[in-house]
Amino acid sequence: MKNNKEQLPSRERMKKIILSTVKDKTWSRRELISKVIKRCGFTPEQLKDTSTDSISTRLKSFAGTVINELVGEKALSLTQDNKIELPPKKKLENKEILEVFINKYLTDEEKKDRTPGGKRNTLNAVLGNILKKKKKEIDKADDVVEYLDKQLINNSTVYEKIIKHSDYPETPLGNKLRFLNEKFNECKRGALPKENYRKILNQSVLECLSLAGGEFFERLCLSLIKKGYGDRVVNDKLTAGPDDKGIDGIVYIKDEMGFDERVFIQAKTKRKKGYIPLCEIREFLGVMIAEKATKGILISNSNYHKETIKFADKVDNLILINQKKLLELMQKHSIGIIQQNGLCKIDDKLFLEQV
């Protein structure tokens, strides 16, 4: 993934664009992202390019990540069939409000710390005080979470203890990246054994891929496959969208004898533990045959059911990449995982869409 001249919108601006797009309608994820990127100030000509490093692809990836964050903040909600809409206007209970800000501001480790001086208890105490003293203002606020967020940011105790020292956005993804940076520094100074750090890194990278969203993962997977084929790649495009037929990307390659090949790519992110079932591989293979693809690669940050693996082994032009192989490729090609001070480290800038 290369550096592009076009600057992405800020996180706050992207949130506003997404929320104003949703309005009172219920959207499929693909349709919403497609609509949102058209409202980010770029020309139709700029958005035509769907290659891995194009502004269109980067916008899709970033929009998907921010949508995940808005769902986590309860600014958006998911229907039973995973469509996106504004949440019904109801008064949040204090416990629900606290949970929103615990997820927003604290890392997993900080959430577990319930000591009197811990960040969780500090946040709980400050928020409880605001809820009591600002009850009238809260009742009048159009967006209670947004109002309370500003109150917390302007609170000196919360700012000094929780916000000031963070170079990461106060989101679940930002918190996970901050946690990993702390573990990297611990390992670098010898306070954390390398083997322990490696396990933490691998598990956390897989979690970050889920938090960043399917659109980010599709782009990352396409970049990995391109890097693997090297100079043989003549073109590539991200095909994911409302009419993608289950194909997320295509890499066009030409071998030294001049033969052309089309490699179809499908990227599957799993937010919960589980295995990719056989039916999904059958569907992917069906599309490959119908579209006359030369090869197919299915990549996941999860693993595959044993029947899925057995089936794929019988298909010569189909390859499955599981979470272990994915991490190896990310490290080998320095995409998502980079080397620093002799240690592997998650590429914060890539996950935060700063490159």
> Phi first, then psi: what are they for 325, rounded to 5°?
-65, -35
Listing DSSP states for 89-124 in one string gives --PPPHHHHHHHHHHHH--HHHHH--STTSHHHHHH
Whole-number Å distance between alpha carbons of 217 and 270: 11
Q: What pLDDT sits at residue 242?
A: 54
* SS3 of residue 299 by DSSP: strand
Q: What pLDDT sits at residue 1?
A: 55
Whole-number Å distance between alpha carbons of 140 and 48: 44
Q: What pLDDT sits at residue 244?
A: 60
Measured from the Cβ of residue 38, the count of other Cβ atoms closer than 10 Å reads 15
Q: How far is CA 286 from the centre of its chain?
A: 28
Q: How far is CA 154 from the centre of its chain?
A: 28
Of 248, 207, 244, 208, the closest CA to residue 225 belongs to 248
Q: What pLDDT sits at residue 197?
A: 97
Whole-number Å distance between alpha carbons of 276 and 279: 9
Q: What pLDDT sits at residue 329?
A: 97
The contacts of residue 67 (CB under 8 Å, 6+ apart) are 18, 29, 32, 33, 76, 84, 213
Write out the chain's pLDDT in tens, 355 residues. Answer: 544 457 899 998 999 999 999 998 999 999 999 999 999 999 999 999 999 989 999 999 999 999 999 998 888 999 999 999 998 877 778 888 888 888 888 887 888 889 988 899 999 999 999 999 998 898 888 788 888 989 998 999 888 888 765 678 888 899 899 899 999 999 999 999 999 999 999 999 999 999 999 999 999 999 999 999 999 999 999 986 655 667 899 999 987 787 899 999 999 887 566 788 899 899 999 999 999 999 999 999 999 989 999 999 999 999 999 999 999 999 999 999 999 999 999 999 999 875 4
Of 258, 313, 261, 269, the closest CA to residue 288 belongs to 261
Of 265, 285, 173, 169, the closest CA to residue 219 belongs to 265
Whole-number Å distance between alpha carbons of 52 and 208: 20
Measured from the Cβ of residue 77, the count of other Cβ atoms closer than 10 Å reads 14
Whole-number Å distance between alpha carbons of 65 and 15: 10
Q: What pLDDT sits at residue 355?
A: 46
Q: What pLDDT sits at residue 241?
A: 62
Q: What pLDDT sits at residue 3?
A: 46
Q: Domains for the chain: give ranges and CATH numbers.
A: 11-85 (1.10.10), 170-212+335-355 (no CATH), 219-321 (3.40.1350.10)
- Alpha carbon dihedral 104, 110, 115, 118, in 10-degree steps, equals -70
Q: What pLDDT sits at residue 354?
A: 55
Of 209, 214, 146, 208, the closest CA to residue 183 belongs to 208
Evaluate the CA torsion angle 129, 144, 109, 179 in order and state its sign.
Answer: negative
The contacts of residue 335 (CB under 8 Å, 6+ apart) are 1, 220, 223, 224, 227, 329, 347, 350
CB 303 within 8 A of CB 314: no
Residue burial 218-245, b: 16+ Cβ < 10 Å; e: rest: bbbbbbbbbbebeeebeebbbbbeeeee
Whole-number Å distance between alpha carbons of 8 and 110: 31
Whole-number Å distance between alpha carbons of 251 and 50: 12
Q: Name the residue with tokens 């599709």.
A: 218
